Chain A
Amino acid sequence: MGHNASPQQNGVGEFHPRVHDAITNPQIRANFRKAMDGLMEKRQQAFPSDEELERTRELAAAIRLRALSKLPELLEKLEANLIAQGVKVHWAENGDEACKIILDICNGKNAKSVIKGKSMVSEEMELNHYLEEHGIEALESDLGEYIVQLAEETPSHIIMPAIHKNTEQISDLLHEKTGTQKSRDVEYLTAEARQQLRERFEKADVGVSGVNFAVAETGTLCLVENEGNGRLTTTVPPVHIAVTGIEKVVENLEDVAPLLSLLTRSATGQHITTYFNMISSPRKEGELDGPEEVHLVLVDGGRSNIYQDDELLDTLRCIRCGACMNHCPVYTRIGGHAYGYTYPGPIGKILMPHLAGLDDAKDLPSASSLCGACGEVCPVKIPIPKLLVRLREESVAGDHRHDNSVVKGRGAKRKGMEPLIWKGWAKMHKHGGLYRSGTGLATVLWGLLPDALLSKGMGAWMSCRTMPKLAKTTLHQQMKTRQQVQASDNNQRENAGDL
């Protein structure tokens, strides 16, 4: 059985209860609304010319698609160049394997403390928990990630991890966990965090970072950031481990220029971030700083599966700017945590079903009004609404053309009454006569409310709306009457003419 109307009644999944908690929390609603309004405004200002925006998006989409079209070759080229430059390259089928690779590197160095730059892939594989379980301290150094870690939470946004909290909440948290004074002075709070983290940077044995773009042509790992913690993470500790998904590779060095420009402008409206850090090797002889060892861990984690399908492939173009969530009316209402997965918002809805399986992430593809705001702002033109519809189809196995689909958990939601209701609906709507005979009425309502029995569906509708009123006569009937009147008028005219 699919979801019933009221979240209180259904025990299916945990999405609805999480949504309920978020939506009824005025603080969350206010924090996200304010933040998203600001981010949308800033992005708007960063693209004064529609024409320039459109052409740059075309270019960026082409660059990403070109990279994907040569993905295996580019990964091998990236690997060969990095190895030649002294970087060690590792491959992991999934997050668990990647965690183990990183643990082995740490153990090989007898490392006790890891300092981390922001990395969504490391969130995806829950690296911090894994290292802690194995006796290695993993400390986040991006301020937002640090706050989230202190709060024992997960990021609620892929670019701004602590966006769900306001200053007062952060002040209280820092006070409670680190002993800073309570204050609404953001400069003071930031300076305190700087001091706390600087000490940790000095002592860290290993730095772990993500990668924004990996350039095959030159064997270069590119990191985009504002704070400088990414540079510290990749420069100060004696070992640097970069971890990334296999889709992050680009072909040529010049490709990063337009991608960087679109990434920062789409994400936060900045024309560029403070730092763009390009790493091609460990410390060379004679150099006075930088890690002695650099590792790259390439993680598949379901990506090569997405890669198999021409339509789903577009998902892998993503450069993780977060503009889709900033512009999403659903994300704005429920925030990042309600989704329950590493990647929230529209990109999460089209990515998580692959990473977690549709049987697990079954509620995500339907949690969209398909308004299209995400697709409109995506810097690499991922057709997100189209992919949402595709995943809805996958979740009910609704198109036999995709019966040999690669999607994990295909058909997980095809159960209960719904398939029968749609079959009935199709039968009625295939025949104009049946539709007109009045059965159409009920079936149209079914069309709107297919997921539950009619009364429950109506209950959901009427929780905040009045019942729509059926017209006394349909347009079909009105047009038929009109045609009959016209025909009889014409007849009369013709008869009159006969006289």
Chain B
Amino acid sequence: MSARDAILNRLRHRRDGALTAPVSDFSVVTEKQWSDSEKLDLFQQKIESVHGEVHRVSKDNWLEKLKELLAEKQVKNLLTPLKAQVGVDTREALADGDVELLAYDQPIEGWKAELFSGVDAAITDVRSAIAETGTLVLWPDNDQPRLMTLVPPIHFAVVDASQLKNTFHEVIMSEDWVSVGMPTNALLISGPSKTADIEQTLAYGVHGPKELVVLVRQ
């Protein structure tokens, strides 16, 4: 008998007999609801509590704020999406500036070394965001691949306030992830990369970005 069949066989013929599934009452999760302004405040507070930056901007001035932040952080080059509107707008706004615009337009194998050591920052949009935990929800794709939000030392994320959901549970249910079908990789990001493995002392950027900068467009 294969290991698979042997294991399943033991599980099916349980000595103490079949088990009954208890009821799962999700109300403690679903009743967590806040107003729009509370959601935004909570989102900001939670991200800031884990060393992330939040800037409240408008749909009109966010690119100005981005330029300001890029200058302040001395970003020399920026990895941007080619198709997502956030990328298109950023490329247009920065076309004549000092910041070199990079694109993730080939498989990682072709430029691994460059991505790992030559990119200062990346900018992405998000699929949605979670107020309760200060979380960005991303489904990386061909235009905004997985390593874009992981390898460069700074990650700029652009969030619309209208994308804020109360909880992770609400995101899964209201966006109907099960029926839509899960992507290769779905991702929650809540702050910059961190570790406390050396004597419980927090240090940022251990493997991923050292800075997470969130622009919330209202």
Contacts and interface: CB of A to CB of B under 8 A. Distances in A.
B112 interface: yes
Nearest to A286: B142
Interface stretch (A1-9, A304-312, A415-423, A464-472): A304-312
B8 A72 contact: yes
A87 B58 CA distance: 43
A313 B29 CA distance: 26
A58 interface: yes
B72 to A, nearest CB: 20
Contacts of B195: 143-144, 190, 226-227
A38 B201 CA distance: 11
B177 A253 contact: yes
B132 A271 contact: yes
B3 A226 contact: no
Contacts of A235: 146-147, 150, 185
A56 B141 contact: no
Given A257-B169, A304-B7, A288 B16 contact: no
Nearest to B108: A289
A166 B135 CA distance: 31
A359 B208 CA distance: 45
A231 to B, nearest CB: 5
B97 interface: no
Contacts of B177: 218, 253
A131 B23 CA distance: 44
A93 B177 CA distance: 33
B35 interface: no
A232 B19 CA distance: 39
Interface in B113-157: 113, 116, 132-135, 141-142, 145-147, 150
Interface in A63-99: 63, 65-66, 68-72, 75-76, 91-93, 97
Interface stretch (B61-69, B84-92, B186-194): B186-194
A309 B28 CA distance: 31
A193 B79 CA distance: 25
Interface in B43-95: 46, 49-50
Contacts of A310: 16
B17 to A, nearest CB: 8
A166 B24 CA distance: 42
Nearest to A67: B21
Interface string B176-212: 0110011111111111111111111101011111000
Given A143-B198, A202-B116, A289 B147 contact: yes
Contacts of A15: none
Nearest to B111: A288
A268 B135 CA distance: 18
Interface stretch (A121-129, A274-282, A338-346): A274-282
Interface string A119-144: 00000000000000000000001111
Contact of B107 (A246, A289, A305): A289
B197 A143 contact: yes
Contacts of B113: 202
Contacts of A286: 142
B37 interface: no
A280 B2 contact: no
B190 A63 contact: no
Given A227-B193, A406-B15, A194 B132 contact: no
A307 B185 contact: no
Contacts of A189: 198, 203
Contacts of A321: none
B205 A62 contact: no
B19 A68 contact: yes
B29 A59 contact: yes
Contact of A162 (B193, B197, B207): B197
A425 to B, nearest CB: 31
B21 A59 contact: no
Interface in A383-425: 406
Interface string A197-212: 1100110000000000
A2 B24 CA distance: 45
A66 B22 contact: yes
Given A62-B23, A93-B3, A202-B113, A232 B206 contact: no
Given A70-B21, A229-B206, A275-B188, 13 more contacts: A56-B29, A58-B28, A59-B29, A62-B23, A142-B197, A189-B198, A193-B206, A198-B116, A227-B206, A271-B49, A272-B133, A272-B134, A280-B182
20 contacts: A65-B22, A72-B12, A76-B8, A91-B4, A143-B198, A162-B197, A167-B201, A190-B195, A227-B195, A235-B185, A257-B29, A257-B168, A257-B169, A274-B189, A275-B193, A279-B185, A288-B105, A307-B10, A309-B15, A309-B16
| Nearest 8 CB-CB pairings of A with B | A228-B208, A144-B197, A228-B207, A69-B19, A257-B169, A276-B188, A55-B28, A91-B4
